[in-house]
Structure 1
């Protein structure tokens, strides 16, 4: 059973940003926010690890990106063929 945090997600994000942008000690910021300093330290460390790990890539999204890139390449080839055909027929009509 997971324990639900009493702090909203946006509050945590704002507190982490405040710690990262401020020159003040973490303990002072925690005191001003009314949060236990170890709780705030935990939020900051968790956010730092998540940032270092980078985005988690979903295999379904990666497959979709590959499929769409292939489709874009095919459409670009078709467009180039049609452009050349239009240029060819334009010169034929001028004769």
Structure 2
């Protein structure tokens, strides 16, 4: 009967996953640390599922789609904040009675 190998410590698995996410290949890491390439890829897949937002898991989005959705939501929040700042600045200048020069109005 085959003797089962003790599981890798979670800190070790997390370190390997971070190295893969940083750009190292699973094959390189398997040679360097002596664990199976398939095992490393399994850890990376498990980590991406665990890190994915709950809403994208429910909808059935892939990891890449979930990441893009998160990026786009951050971008929308940033643009809304910029719009709000510009609206407040416009209101402030309007209250002072000053005209705001824009590139199109300087003809």
TM-score (norm: length of structure 1)? 0.47
Q: Structure 1 or 2: larger helix share?
A: 1
TM-score (norm: length of structure 2)? 0.42
Larger radius of gyration: 1
Q: Which has the higher contact order (CA 8 A, sep 6+)?
A: 1
